[in-house]
Structure 1
Amino acid sequence: MGGTGKTTMAKEVGQQVESKPFDKVIFTNVSTPVDEKRIRDDVVKQLGLQLEEEKKLTHAQQIWTKIANAGRVLIILDDVWEKLNLESIGIQPGFHRTGTCNILLTTRNENVCTQMGCQKRKIIHLDALPEKDALNLFLFHAIEIGQDCPDDLKKVALDIVNECGRLPVIIVVAAKTLKDWLVKKWQDSLTALRNTEPSRHEIVDEVEMRFYNSLKLSYTSLKDRKAQVLFLLCSIFPKAYEIPIELLSKNSISVGLFGEFDKYNIARSQVNVVNNKLINSSLLLKADEECVKMHDVIREVALEIANEKVQVLMDFKPKLKEYEIFILDHKRLL
């Protein structure tokens, strides 16, 4: 299920086993649709490999030669949605001359594990958190360190985490939204969680409804129009896309959200402030090299909200309506 913490756990595994028992750990996001070149480039970068165009070996063969001589290697393939041709990427699981190449993959679909030839005894299911763990995670992010949580607040918190489906990614966002609020506001938020309805009727699954209600509450609680619009703007980029802050700034300015191009430096600083607000709320995630990205579960809900608040156009002919922002589709933005 989305939001159970598969990526977070895979990264933690990578950190714990790097150097021992593995000599090298490589982490790459696969996502969908599969872009083999991007995955190869990511692996090459982490291997510190310079590919040679004139060599008789293909790029995939050059990658494998490097891996084969790197000792014990763990390659983490995150967010796999379909069977991958590993050899075309440059990965050949199994024993070789100097060590072993092992693969750890995360996926929402167990059929992918079967298609990829995963060992059944090594398939690990991540379910929603037990109530106690879910509550502790919520309180860790919602209560100041060192402060005790009153029993009446703890009871409301337990109801909230259950409304969040006891899913880590949703719990963290909700907790940061409600941080240091009074009991009455937590109770009001719980009521809102239980009664929010999406504007469209495609959301019929109970888990999806909890995603939507929890994140809609966090979105509304931003109480900052620019932060809300920037959040929706990020959702139109492709899934798992690492959005360069520079590109996000230009797009935000181009639609009039942060002033004019002739005052770009001022507008750019405003983008950073709002961007950090979204990161602190866990609605956006930091990525490498001055980039941000959106968790796919959060992106799905953001797109649902965007159907209410954002009109995506192919030109700028219609007049700007109140609380709407006109943006080109993501292919043009990129």
Structure 2
Amino acid sequence: MSAIAPPIRRCLALGTSLYWAPEHPAGVVVKVFFSPHHAGHRPAQTFRHGRVVANRDLPARADNILAALRADGHALLNAAPHGPKPVAAIHTPEYLDFLQHAWGEWRKIEGASEDVFPYIFPVRGMDNAYPSSIVGRAGYHMHDCWAPIGEHTWAVAIESANLAVEAASHVLRGEAAAYALCRPSGHHAFADMGGGNCFLNNAAIAAQHLRQGFGRVALIDIDVHHGNGSQGIFYCRDDVFFASLHRDPIDYHPYFAGHAHERGEGRGLGFNLNLPLPKGAGDDAFLAALEAACARIQAFQAEALVVSLGVDAHEDDPTEGLKVTFDGFRRIGARLAALRLPTALVQEGGYNMDTIARCVAGALAGFEGRETQAA
């Protein structure tokens, strides 16, 4: 498949600075795919600042988005099954086996918690063995305590990944764009590790699936948190360009990745772009960083695009990282559409139940070149 012709450009003012943005393509329609079974994954608790607290990854996140997209006139579609190969193309056999059987093995431990919670991890100088115990494997395969595994987590995570594959498959068949309402999210999942409410890396799976028809794929992550798992998966590759816009991790999750000097390794050197933003950065700063990312995507000569569509950068999100507005997300969607690339959009974070739906609906409406009707 050939790359789509570059768009016409025009100059827009953002505050006191100028940046270049292409004209929006006309007639884009985003297909929406969802799974009715996402609510089977309902972790009640997590750890934060040393305390057991309520988990933010509630089924209402996806339910609210669905209601808004339905009100906005989107047809809500189910996904065809794509089998295990697209997931196995990204994740290791050890990790997939762990996810599939972790809850059953954990529940055999006398007095164990209802969900799998790792509590001992391989750290510097102590990572030379692969444990047989589920306690050890939980720590080996989970990089934090923010992704409890419940009875139905594996099945729901597989369905979430399948949605991303479905969106990518429609793009491969010639659709301009498709959106996968993935829950649980995926961008903190590495090839052999989960964390941060993520188990399978939906966006990476979609990007790899697109490689069947496109030689060069770009993956851009606009979640408030750095997509450390996505970066890790593609860090040594030159066929998938990864860019992430996020709150500066020097004092914010995930802390140990997402810094500007991380540019890739080996063949991947120069194919990784991190654009960390200071706490409280708003629309103008975010859109300026997005412009820099889009320029690099164009220089990469990407033939297709995957968007990790986190909306927790919103000003009222409880993650308290950035201050992007509703209109900011509409403008983000419009700028990404103006790349004129076949695009699979994959849902990531967003935790304010009163704003998440409007943020997503606004981003998709911006991508389609219209205003959202979602309240």
TM-score of the aligned structures, taking structure 2 as reference length: 0.24
Greater relative contact order (Cα 8 A, min sep 6): structure 1 or 2?
A: 2
More helix by share: 1
> Over alpha carbons, which structure has the higher Rg?
1
Normalised by the length of structure 1, the TM-score is 0.26
Give 1 or 2: higher strand fraction. Answer: 2
